[in-house]
Structure 1
Amino acid sequence: MTARRVPVVATIVVALAVAAMIGLGIWQLQRKTQKETLLARYAAALTNPAPVSFPPAGDGAAVLYRIARFDCRVQPGLWDSVAGRNAQGEPGYVHIAHCANGAGPDALVQVGWSRDPHPPVWQGGAVTGRIAPFHRLTRLVAVPPQAGLAASAAPDPSTIPNNHLAYAVQWFLFAGVALVIYALALRRPRRSPAA
């Protein structure tokens, strides 16, 4: 009985695919650790009473969830009214004013929440609040709310997903399944060529 030859090219392809999947799983575990560190920093920022400047320099990641004060000079007609929740968790709209910022692009101040999608009438003024992410920018969520609006839901870093462990497990499972399927394929008897 002759030993079966292992297909070299197929084995190399499967080995590279399995190595890539294991590498992606390890990378997700590293991302999990990084995300846990980031969330711990954000949680600490919630308890830090010292105010920081707003708008922040750079992307603002270093001061997210910190308290800040800002004198908003509303840019006429420049408002964002987006879906959001109030402090009780009810759906509606949060209203974000574009405030003049001599040092750069407009500063965004979320003045409050309402059921009305139309922005409030507000000329601006001194605002205290907490810095929160807004797409790739930052916004200052006013506490207390301004312009007669209700309080917006407080910025909460615990809502940031940390599902990297689940992704890592998926990649490791994919690698295991690929190995099992390939082993089964190698054990399958070959068909004899037709006479």
Structure 2
Amino acid sequence: MKRIPIVATILVGLAIAIMVALGIWQLQRKGEKEALIAQYATNSTLPSIAFPNIPVNDALLFRKAGAFCLQPVGWTSRAGRNAKGATGWRQIARCRTGAEGPGLTVQIGLARTPDAKPTWTGGEVHGYITHAPDDQPLIASLIGKSRPKTLMLVSDTPLAGLDANPEPDLSAVPNNHLAYAVQWFLFALIAGVIYALALRRRMRTETTGL
């Protein structure tokens, strides 16, 4: 008598259902990201604002803003490109803005060597808002478990001795959700085909005894 393995079938069915659900979720995210990109394009044309006190709202990306850095309290160097497209090292300061509060992150320009030591002591900064560097793993964003990214002010005027920062670039905003959706749907299809073939082979073996 041919019997379908119930437990294995349930597990495979659940796995396929989860992958299909993830694919549908990525399609929804695609629409949301397209709306955000349209908003970012509008942001770049709006008047300058004060840099937000709690900079975690992505709706403000590419908006012109100003802030005052009382004192840099730390520096980070990251690889990047300057306004002319040449490679360099982004000089990013973490600033104190008052006795309390989350502070401010500022990209003050690009150095040509990774061991640069900026001597900036703070002051008024004007530029545009973007994401600060983030070391969260990619898988966290794929499954919707990533933390909100901190925003950063990219200065219009570089510190003396540094190259100018690049202009806002909407093409740098990733929108790979359609590709992710297709991948999840393909994974579900492949899992279904492999299990069907395995099930067919099992039944043939039970029938023939071979």
TM-score (norm 2): 0.79
Following the alignment from structure 1 to structure 2, what is the Cα–Cα distance between the partners of residues 74 and 179? 59
Correspondence 1:34 to 2:32: yes
Do the aligned partners of 1:96 and 1:109 also contact (CA within 8 Å) in 2?
yes
Do the aligned partners of 2:54 and 2:102 also contact (CA within 8 Å) in 1?
no
Alignment of 1:14-163 (within 5 A): 14-48=12-46, 50-75=47-72, 78-102=74-98, 103-116=100-113, 117-134=115-132, 135=134, 136-163=149-176
- Deviation of 1:193 after TM superposition, in Å, equals 5.3
Following the alignment from structure 1 to structure 2, what is the Cα–Cα distance between the partners of residues 47 and 55? 18
Closer, same or farther: CA 14–95 of 1 in aligned 2, 3 Å? closer
Closer, same or farther: CA 146–55 of 1 in aligned 2, 3 Å? farther
Deviates more, 1:52-61 or 1:25-34: 52-61
Identical-residue share of aligned pairs (%): 50
The one-letter code matched in structure 1 to 2:192 is L
- Deviation of 1:115 after TM superposition, in Å, equals 0.6
SS in 2 for 1:19: helix
TM-score (norm 1): 0.84
Closer, same or farther: CA 183–86 of 1 in aligned 2, 3 Å? same
SS in 1 for 2:130: strand
Q: Point out the structure with max Rg over C-alpha.
A: 1
Do the aligned partners of 2:26 and 2:181 also contact (CA within 8 Å) in 1?
yes
Closer, same or farther: CA 92–190 of 1 in aligned 2, 3 Å? same
The one-letter code matched in structure 1 to 2:37 is L
Do the aligned partners of 1:121 and 1:147 also contact (CA within 8 Å) in 2?
no
Could you tell me which of 154, 167, 171 is aligned with 2:184?
A: 171
The one-letter code matched in structure 1 to 2:26 is Q
How many residue pairs get matched? 190
Do the aligned partners of 1:92 and 1:114 also contact (CA within 8 Å) in 2?
yes
The one-letter code matched in structure 1 to 2:103 is D
Do the aligned partners of 2:39 and 2:59 also contact (CA within 8 Å) in 1?
no
- Deviation of 1:55 after TM superposition, in Å, equals 4.1
Deviates more, 1:83-92 or 1:56-65: 56-65
Following the alignment from structure 2 to structure 1, what is the Cα–Cα distance between the partners of residues 10 and 76? 54
Do the aligned partners of 1:129 and 1:143 also contact (CA within 8 Å) in 2?
yes
- Deviation of 1:104 after TM superposition, in Å, equals 1.1
- Deviation of 1:46 after TM superposition, in Å, equals 1.6
SS in 1 for 2:8: helix
Q: Which consecutive unaligned segments of at least 5 residues does structure 2 have?
A: 135-148
- Deviation of 1:26 after TM superposition, in Å, equals 0.9
Deviating 4+ runs (over 4 angstroms): 191-194
SS in 2 for 1:190: helix
Closer, same or farther: CA 60–187 of 1 in aligned 2, 3 Å? closer
